[in-house]
Amino acid sequence: MVSASVSTAGAGSASPRLVVAAPGSGHGKTTVATGLLAALRGRGTEVAGFKVGPDYIDPGYHTIASGGPGRNLDPVLVGERSIAPLFAHGSRTAELSVIEGVMGLFDGRLGSADEVPPFGSTAHVASLLDAPVVLVVDAKGQSHSTAALLHGFRSFHPQLQLAGVIFNRVGSQRHEQVLREAARAVGIRVLGVLGRADDVQVPSRHLGLITAAEHGPAAVRAVESMADVVAAGVDLDAVAALAGTAPALSARPWSPDEAIGDDTGVPRGGGARIAVAGGAAFTFGYAEHVELLRAAGAEVLPFDPLSAESLPAGTTGLVLPGGFPEQHVAELSANVGLREHVAELVARGAPVHAECAGLLYLARSLDGYPLCGVVDVSAEMSPNLTLGYRAAVAATDSVLFREGQRVTGHEFHRTVLLESEDSAPAWYWRAEKVVTEGFVSGGVHASYLHTHPAGQPGSVARFVRACVP
């Protein structure tokens, strides 16, 4: 097992925790993880929610359920040595933490199949955190065969603590009895049984679930339903006791102040006022990003491009994170005053960090709707999904990165650029051939590539320095 003690500085923390995993996608991990967070919080337990991998959507539901920021744990984007410190940072006030896995328990980065556990997988993160694992199994259409499934998942990596199972979509009492017998045959404890509760389903679309911010009050109701179903079908006392068996972590909590450091030349209170887009169209951001911006001395000014008539007063820099602008393009386009204000900011040379949705918002148009027009490119929806990690190299000096700097990022979009301006690219990487991607022009860095600021804190410091007037 990979030790969780990746940093020996600082006092250890009890950090009760467990990982919610599954044999694959679609078994009900999000329902169980979110329901556990909400049900335990409803009993008065301070909880924290985490998601393995780069997914931005599930943490939004974790935020509703836990009352605190949902956070990601992705060894590919931040490095495995940062996982335990980031977890310790995010769980520092929690009595119990729930870590939702990604895909199947042993599904990791492509090319890591020979590693056990595969790099970037749920099992990898569970090992780094020395956390017990609860497997959620969609039992529809299965009975005694679940014994073989459970045995296989436990024996594939024996050092991993597969401590229990929660059966989902169980059809009857007889079905439940057979499943319990199957689990008993291989010595796996059944922690819960959930029926076929369609009322907890959250609407989905081309890139997964609809985000909590877009789903609005319906998302709150969905989380409440998940809590009710989990509270009724899962032994919460047993889950809490299991989480308490996780050994103390000796990892020192990650600190945004320490990550930025004192030797970066970042002025404290130097006048950097950075507007950060949010709301329903720009939901893809990591909690650590804002923490790092503030640690670097910036004043962070949240705003919603769907409703704000202009950028916040005194804005000296702009962050446009990812999201679903294609779902709100008519409203974004109709907000002409804000679009013009963004174009004026860019014309003044102000630093702009735009990722994916941000790139599209800066484009001339999306699906024919006029947008900010500061990046000379148009975009449209595509039937093809672009998805995967990228080992990228900064192609051009920018307000974020030095030319030649290496970064691991992630692409996740179903839009394509129709025309590309003749400007410096932001990135290049090698797939079947060398790929150039993104745009660097003046103070603008616009790209499809998502990066995790906790993996590149120097880029945040560099950006804040550029935002000082």
Please identify every residue annotated as catalytic.
356
Size (the chain), residues: 469
Query: Do 431 and 234 touch, CB atoms closer than 8 A?
Result: no
Cα–Cα separations (whole angstroms), residue 180 to 3, 27, 139: 33, 18, 11
The owner of tokens 């599904």 is 107
What is the C-alpha radius of gyration for the chain, rounded to an integer number of angstroms?
Answer: 23
Rounded to the nearest 10 degrees, the angle between the axes of helix 457-467 and helix 287-295 is 50
How is residue 42 written in tokens? 């409803």
Q: Is 247 left (phi over 0), alpha (psi -120 to 50) or beta?
A: beta
The rounded distance, in Å, linking the Cα atoms of 467 and 67 is: 32
The rounded distance, in Å, linking the Cα atoms of 317 and 448 is: 19
Task: Compute φ and ψ for 428, nearest 5 degrees.
Answer: -140, 150
Q: Which stretch of DSSP H or E encloses residue 193?
A: strand 190-195
The owner of tokens 């609860």 is 134
Three-state DSSP at 388 gives strand
The owner of tokens 């386009």 is 333
What DSSP assignment string belongs to 21-33? E-SSTTSSHHHHH
